[in-house]
Every structure is written in structure tokens, then in C-alpha cells.
Amino acid sequence: MCSIRPILTIARRELMEAIRSRWVLLTGALFGVLALALSAFGMQSVGARGFSGFSRTAIGLLNLTLYLTPLLALLLSINSMAAEREEGPLELLLAQPIPRSAIVLGKFCGLAAALTAALLCGLGGAGLLIGIAGADTDIGGYLLLLLRSVGLGLAFLSLGLWIASAAATRLHALAHGLLLWFATVVLYDLVVVGATALIGGSLLKTALGALLVANPVDLVRIGTLIHLGGADSFGLTAQALIGFLRGTPGTLLLSAALLGWIVVPLLGATRTFNRRDFAA
């Protein structure tokens, strides 16, 4: 049984660390500046001046967040777990009278709070400015993007903690993390393209459905594109699946799958962390 006190204590320290190291500030600023820049440049490209509005900004930001959020979440969680092990504090933490699972859950909660704060400040703040500047009114689309970005970040935090819990060194963990990022963000679409070319008929829909659920990045991409009505503009997976997951059941299925991508790796991280040896 894992009591809540050590989880909250560790979560608070993780959040404090992220704030003091200016990670939250810098990440929030990065997202905010990029959101504003995308909005402004997007409007200039169609011959107007000023901000181009939520919907177009949201679609523009989608690809950006699909690339950046997983990477930042992986680096944050791997650095928190693996660096702490190599530098020493984890040894003292493990020697305290707390369950090991409290360490993993506490770290996840603290890092999740830091990442959420950065995304809300950066993307949310930029959204607010764009709204004040008098852009169009698809606030729902922008909020959905924000929410899905947070969900995507949490999924990759869990994955990062799992990788760091299993890896022998910080370097191994970083290498595996970058490999995962490359596979999910870059390589995955190639697999989907291959699948559509090789598989035909009724099997294709099942195969693509499975491939969609198998990657949190595509989950977020498709889910957001369907809502924003921009599914024709991005990604081959999106085009193939646009009709498959439209409507409330589709949204719920995507949200449940994303939740699964947060919970299952976190359970995996806890199990791996509980079982491993921490030799000198």
C-alpha cells in the first residue's frame, strides 16, 4: 500500500526543482513565442496582418506540439530519474521508509504539474493574446489542442520514467528515449504508409485502427485534426482514418486510448522500478 504523503512530498520537490531550474519558464516561453509567431506569420502568408485566429493557429501548432511535447517530456522525465540515480539523491531517497512506487508516482505527479504549467502558460497565454487581438472564435479547437498536448506530454512522461527505470545509465536512457521519439514522431507514418500499401479491403481499417492506437502521437494528431476539420492537410495516417473515428464514440475512444498511454507505461515504470537492483 502506497500512502499519499510521500507521493505529494516528492511531487512538490520535483515541481520546485522544475521551477527553480527555470525549466517551466523557458518551456512555457518557447511554446508561447512559437504560438504567437505561427499565428502572426500564418496571417501574413494569406496577405493579411496581425494574428490569424485560433483554428488556423491550432492546426499550425499541432505539428509543432507533436514534435516538441514528446521530446521535452521524455528529456524531463529521463533526466529526473536517471540523473538523480547517477548523481546520488535517489540512493538516499530509496533508503527512506517509503515504498518505491511512491518515488515513481511522486516524480510523475511533480513532473506532470511542471509540464502542464509550462504548456498552459505558453500555449494558453498565447491563445489568450490571440483572442484579445480579435481573431476568429474557435476557442474550443484551441482548448482541445491544449488538453491533448497535456495528455500527450503525460504519456511521454510515463514512457520516459519507464525507460529511465529500466536503463542501466542516463546515457542509455537518453538513447532509448530519443529512439522512441524518432520512432513515434517520424518513423511511424512510414509504417502506416507501408500498411496501407500492403493491406487491402476490410483488413485495412482494422490494421489502421490498431496502428492509430499503438502511437500516442498519432492519437493526438488524428483526434485534434478531426475536431479542427483539418484532417486533409496533415499526415497520411490522418487521411486514411478521417472517416473512421469521427463523432463522440471516436473522441471517447481516442481519449481512452490516450489515457491508456499515460497509465500503462506508468504502471510499467512502477513495476520495473520496484523490481530492479540499485547496485553501486
Partner 1 sequence: MIEFAHIHKRYGAATAIADLSLMVKRGELLALVGPNGAGKTTLIRVLLGLVRPTAGTVCIDGHDVQRDGVAARLLLGYLPQRAVLYGNLTVHENLAFVAQLRGVSPVRIAEVLALVRLAPVAERPARTLSGGMLQRLGLAQALLASPPVLVLDEPTVSLDPQSTLEFKELLRALHAAGTTVLLSSHILGDVQEVADRVAILDHGRLVALDSVAALAQQCALPERLRIQVGEPSDHAVELARRAGAATAELHGETLEVAVPRERKLAVLQALMAAGVVIRDFSSAPPTLEAIFLQLLDQPVKG
Which residues are near partner 1 by CB under 8 A? 5-6, 9-10, 13, 16-17, 20-21, 87-89, 91-99, 275, 277-280
Provide the minimum distance between the beta carbon of 177 and partner 1 in the complex, in angstroms, as a whole number.
23
Q: CB-wise, 99 or 131, nearer to partner 1? A: 99
Query: What does the alpha-carbon distance between residue 151 and residue 244 come to, in Å, rounded to a whole number?
Result: 22
Q: Does an H or E element contain 38, and which?
A: helix 23-45
Inter-residue contact 221 to 208 (CB < 8 Å) = no
Of 101 and 184, which CB lies nearer to partner 1 in the complex structure? 101
Compute the least distance from the CB of residue 6 to partner 1, in Å.
Answer: 5
CB of 254 to partner 1, least distance (A): 38
Q: Which is nearer to partner 1, 21 or 45 (CB)?
A: 21
Count of residues making up the chain: 280
Cβ closer to partner 1: 87 or 232? 87
Residue ranges in the chain assigned as alpha helix (H): 4-20, 23-45, 54-78, 84-87, 89-94, 100-119, 125-132, 139-166, 170-181, 188-198, 202-213, 216-228, 236-241, 248-275
Q: At residue 197, what is the residue type?
A: A
Closest distance to partner 1 from the beta carbon of 27 (Å): 17
Closest separation between CB of residue 30 and partner 1, Å? 21
Residues whose CB falls within 8 Å of the CB of residue 210, separated by 6 or more in sequence, listed in order: none
Looking at beta carbons only, is 80 or 224 nearer to partner 1?
A: 80
